[in-house]
Chains A and B, each alone.
Chain A
């Protein structure tokens, strides 16, 4: 393997955003050796736009049907020691790669992922996601990383040790969330995964319900599918099993409370005052959110986005329950990969 980094960017109809992504890579303080855009048979001119932006563009003979499929198509072309995966709608802070790669100096680390902040924070869905990310990446991920087991090396911006990635067969398309699947398989194989908070990426998040619905469905089903496939092996990894158990509890119990029990009690008992339960945890959740926002100089934006977070949380709870119902109870798994933006 030669030294250096190969960036893989799977893209399907991303003509509007792909040049920004490639440009942000070309402006890095540590520039990647090769930038490969996998144009998954787009119909909007993604191929030409990516090529004119300076990327090497490859195209499978037919649409691979998933992000994992597109990434695997290009993986055999990677000859550098490091492989990086970035979404086609994601741009990076100028020093993001430099900071991310520091974590991979450790020979035991196979993957590292960075901090994620929505590029645009305008609609209720983008605002909700902004607060959700602030909470997750300012609090949950650092705690998980401290214990050496980040739950996911986010697919929108992660770097991998190429030989370890190839040894595992690349990304799997048996679930809707190939990044969870890959992260957990690294743990099962004895590798470590790191979260690097100062390596920042900016993806475009779903701006309306139509796209948010697709993304939430994919993420919810993907999580349940991964738990279903890997649960016995997750049980063998001490801290990971705790983190997955808490996430599963949150998906089931907290979602049931938000979407089923609370509305039912409010309706049956005719006691609207119970609605305070929807905001009862805010005083404490706000602490890490505001801490993260102050560090970024975005306090006002964070406070203004809190109501949207409450909306997104309830919608997210609905999709988690739907995924559990479909995947585990009526055995109707989600197989069609639909883009969330």
Chain B
């Protein structure tokens, strides 16, 4: 996988970040001004948000740095010596970013699977809520 491919992936991540995560954050701010539970629009579940944010952070950040260095290289040609087109250093950064994202997804999947077999549930009665509140809570969940 060459630098152009990694760059392309990063651009996609960055676009996702710009199109999805930041508007989602804005939406959260808007929603938070409304009474809780009243007219909440659907939002991306947390794992998706976390995944996009992480890939956006890593891929987008990496892309911006690379772009900045390449731009700088146009003005200061000597810098290009530090950054050949297929620089293994940047390959490593890209692979590292992808690897971190991959481990996060793995962790989230493992946790979901574990929750099916190892979860220890406490009786909801421990909360001291009355029957009506418990019913409301269960409906909300």
Binding site for B on A (CB under 8 A): 106-108, 110, 139, 142-143, 145-147, 163-164, 167, 188-191, 197, 232-233, 235-236, 238-239, 241-243, 245-246, 248-249, 253-254, 257, 261, 265, 269, 271, 273-274, 276-277, 279-285, 287-288
In the bound assembly, the distance between CA atoms of A280 and B104 in angstroms comes to 18
A271–B121 Cα distance when bound, in Å, is: 50
Give A243's nearest chain B residue, CB to CB: B46
User: Is B78 close to A, CB under 8 A?
Assistant: no
Assuming the contacts A143-B49, A146-B32, A190-B126, asked whether A280 and B65 have C-beta atoms less than 8 A apart, the reply is yes
B47 at the interface (CB under 8 A from A): yes
Cβ B31 vs Cβ A274 within 8 A: no
Indicate which residue in B17, B104, B115 contacts A235 across the interface (CB closer than 8 Å).
B115
Contact among B53, B92, B104, B127 with A190 in the assembled complex (CB-CB below 8 Å): B127
Q: Which residue of A lies closest to B21 (CB)?
A: A284
The CA-CA distance from A233 to B121 in the complex, in Å, is 6
Bound Cα distance A108, B114 (Å): 28
Which of B25, B28, B29, B128 has a CB less than 8 Å from the CB of A164?
B128
* Interfacial chain A residues near B93, Cβ < 8 Å: 274, 276-277, 280
Closest residue of chain A to B117 (Cβ to Cβ) is A235
In whole angstroms, how far apart are the Cα atoms of A257 and B93 in the complex?
A: 11
Contact A282 B89 (CB under 8 A): no
> Cα distance A238–B119 when bound, in Å?
10
CA of A232 to CA of B119, assembled, Å: 5
Does B8 reach chain A (CB closer than 8 Å)?
no
Q: Taking the nearest CB of chain B, how far is it from the CB of A161, in angstroms?
A: 9
B57 on the A face (CB < 8 A): yes
In the complex, what residues of A have CB within 8 A of residue B128's CB? 163-164, 167, 189
How many A-B residue pairs lie within 8 Å, measured between CB atoms?
Answer: 135
- Can you give 21 contacting A-B residue pairs, CB < 8 Å? A143-B25, A143-B28, A146-B43, A164-B127, A189-B128, A190-B125, A236-B115, A236-B121, A242-B46, A242-B111, A245-B111, A257-B100, A261-B96, A265-B92, A269-B92, A271-B89, A273-B83, A274-B92, A276-B65, A277-B93, A287-B22
Complex interface: chain A residues within 8 A of B114 (CB): 235
CB pair B118–A284 under 8 Å, yes or no, is no
Given A232-B118, A232-B119: 16 more A-B contacts, CB < 8 Å: A139-B25, A188-B122, A189-B124, A232-B120, A235-B114, A235-B120, A236-B122, A242-B47, A242-B111, A257-B100, A261-B96, A273-B89, A277-B96, A280-B93, A282-B61, A283-B64
Closest to A248 in B: B107
Contacts A281-B57, A284-B61 given; does A191 touch B46 at CB 8 Å = no
Q: Decide if B137 is an interface residue (CB 8 Å cutoff).
A: yes
Give residues 1-20 of B contacting A (CB, 8 Å).
17
Complex Cα gap A274–B92 (Å) = 8
For the complex, give the distance between the alpha carbons of A110 and B129 in Å. 11
- Whole-angstrom CA separation of A284 from B16 in the bound complex: 12
Q: Please, how many angstroms separate the alpha-carbon atoms of A51 and B100 in the complex? A: 53
B108 within 8 Å of A by Cβ? yes
B58 and A281 form a contact (CB under 8 A): yes
Contacts of A281 in B (CB 8 A): 57-58, 61
**Distance, CA A261 to CA B97, complexed state (A):** 12
Which residue of chain A has the shortest Cβ distance to B65 in the bound complex?
Answer: A276
Contacts of A147 in B (CB 8 A): 46
| Chain A residue at minimum C-beta to C-beta distance from B111 | A245
Residues of A within 8 A of B50 (CB): 242, 246
Separation of A235 and B113 alpha carbons in the complex (Å): 10
B122 close to A253 (CB less than 8 A): no
Chain B residue with Cβ nearest A277: B93
Tell me whether A235 and B118 are in contact in the complex, defined as CB-CB below 8 angstroms, given that A142-B32, A245-B111, A269-B89 are known contacts: yes
Tell me if B134 counts as interface (CB < 8 A to partner A).
yes
Question: How far apart are A117's CB and chain B's nearest CB, in angstroms?
Answer: 18
Within B37-82, the residues touching A (CB, 8 Å) are: 43, 46-47, 49-50, 53, 56-58, 60-62, 64-65, 82
In the bound complex, how far is the Cα of B122 from the Cα of A233, in angstroms? 8
Measured CB to CB, the closest approach of chain A to B123, in angstroms, equals 8
User: Nearest Cβ distance between residue A262 and chain B, in whole angstroms?
Assistant: 8
Q: Separation in Å of the B73 CB from the closest CB of chain A?
A: 12
